[in-house]
């Protein structure tokens, strides 16, 4: 039987977000219905709403969610009603060329569900789930492969952050950058992903760990999560980073904003032979330029990290072990707990804090 639930819907690019009643069908073969408990508010949600990230519309936003299985469809064998899960917005097919190479974060089919029609609004218009998840709703229907089962002892509001911010930030440091003990790291942008990257640098044994953000109020949290220095952005950032790293620049820069200017800043803050890893999602119209001489002279590596360059099925249990051991903080990343009606304001205010989390139960 279909179900009517409230959800945050964007009808078209640049259109205002509205809370509407949508109708979800029963889960089909290989699908499960999830009762959401908590969903984080991420920059990617705003990127979809603004058109920076191309996506089918109308769309129910939200992709960083955790909840419990309410119903399973035919053929589902790995989950049962009542199971706690964190949602994976880029489930790997395990069969394509990239998956065979051990790069499931680049799976050719990870975004297949982004364009599916999974629900209808009150007027009968088909709706699409944001990044295949549609987690700004009290319930959603997703593929079984989009769920990672959680132990019962993990609080679901904190677990939701594992679905994007923590996997992305820690993974960028651990996997894409490959930070080693004693190496210097600068993290640019202290949203949820950047603060997770700070923790990733601390877990990797980096020193110093230099945080960069324009909001002075983030200082206490940045130091708590691993930063040894906090700098404001500015045209002389590279010089200030070099002053803290023996005159060389950082071994690694982790860029968590997604703008050409901050990518250039990350590049310039990195030593000769160092690595700048871009995590932030940028605009296709924001051009980044280099001159031919600096490429050869600095011998730096500029790379990107997609979803932490990790396999969530493998990485989530590892992160949970670190959480249980007190090595990884999750609750510290939650700036505020809000209601579904407040999602629009939270999207507009992104950047002021770490993560707003929508609480459903």
Q: Which tokens go with 81?
A: 């009603």
- At 284, give phi and psi (nearest 5°): -70, -15
CATH class for the region spanning 166-309: alpha beta
Q: End-to-end alpha-carbon separation of the chain, Å?
A: 22
Query: CATH classification of 3-155+330-359 is 3.90.180.10, yes or no?
Result: yes
Q: What are the boundaries of each domain within the chain?
A: 3-155+330-359, 166-309
Query: What's the pLDDT at 355?
Result: 85
Secondary structure (DSSP) of 228-281: SEEE---TTHHHHHHHTTTTS-EEEEEE-S--HHHHHHHHHTEEEEEEEEE-S-
Q: What is the pLDDT of residues 155-193, one digit of tens each?
A: 999 999 999 999 999 999 999 999 999 999 999 999 999
Percent share of the chain, pLDDT over 70: 99
Q: Is 197:222 a contact under the CB 8 Å cutoff? A: no
pLDDT over 90 at 13, yes or no: no
Name the nearest CA neighbour of 70 among 60, 79, 61: 79
> Distance of CA 59 to CAs 12, 49, 337, Å?
8, 9, 23
Q: What is the pLDDT of residues 245-291, one digit of tens each?
A: 999 999 999 999 999 999 999 999 999 999 999 999 998 999 999 99
Long-range Cβ contact pairs of 11-16 (< 8 A, separation 24 or more): 11/57, 11/58, 12/57, 12/58, 13/49, 13/50, 13/51, 13/57, 14/49, 14/50, 14/51, 15/49, 16/344
pLDDT over 80 at 23, yes or no: yes
Name the nearest CA neighbour of 68 among 166, 147, 137, 7: 147
- What pTM, to 2 d.p., does this model score? 0.95
pLDDT over 70 at 39, yes or no: yes
């Amino acid at each position: 039987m279909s179900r009517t639930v409230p959800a945050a819907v964007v009808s078209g690019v640049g259109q205002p977000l509205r809370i509407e009643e949508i109708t979800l069908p029963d889960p089909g073969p290989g699908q499960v219905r999830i009762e959401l408990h908590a969903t984080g508010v991420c920059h990617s949600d705003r990127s979809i709403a603004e058109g920076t990230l191309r996506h089918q519309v109308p769309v129910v936003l939200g992709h960083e969610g955790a909840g419990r299985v309410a119903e399973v469809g035919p053929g589902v064998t790995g989950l049962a009603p009542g199971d706690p899960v964190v949602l994976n917005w880029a489930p790997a097919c395990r069969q394509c060329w990239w998956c065979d190479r051990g790069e499931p974060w680049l799976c050719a089919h990870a975004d297949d569900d982004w364009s599916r029609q999974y629900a209808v609004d009150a007027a009968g218009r088909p709706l699409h789930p944001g990044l295949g998840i549609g987690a700004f709703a009290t319930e959603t229907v997703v593929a079984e492969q989009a769920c990672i089962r959680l132990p019962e002892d993990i609080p679901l509001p904190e677990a939701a952050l594992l679905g994007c911010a923590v996997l992305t930030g820690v993974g960028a440091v651990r996997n894409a950058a490959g930070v080693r003990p004693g190496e210097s790291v600068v993290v640019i942008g202290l949203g949820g992903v950047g603060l997770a990257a700070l923790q990733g640098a601390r877990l990797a044994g980096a020193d110093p760990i230099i945080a960069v953000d324009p909001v002075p109020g983030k200082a206490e949290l940045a130091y708590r999560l691993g930063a040894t220095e906090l700098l404001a952005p500015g045209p002389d950032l590279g010089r200030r980073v070099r002053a803290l790293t023996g005159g060389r620049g950082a071994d690694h820069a982790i860029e968590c904003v997604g703008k050409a200017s901050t990518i250039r800043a990350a590049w310039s803050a990195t030593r000769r032979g160092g690595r700048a890893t871009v995590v932030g999602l940028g605009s296709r119209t924001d051009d980044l330029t280099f001159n031919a001489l600096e490429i050869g002279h600095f011998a730096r590596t500029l790379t990107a990290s997609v979803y932490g360059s990790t396999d969530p099925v493998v990485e989530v249990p590892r992160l949970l072990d670190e959480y249980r051991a007190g090595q990884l903080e999750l609750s510290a990343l939650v700036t505020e707990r809000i209601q579904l009606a407040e999602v629009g304001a939270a999207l507009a205010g992104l950047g002021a804090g770490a993560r707003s989390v929508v609480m459903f139960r």
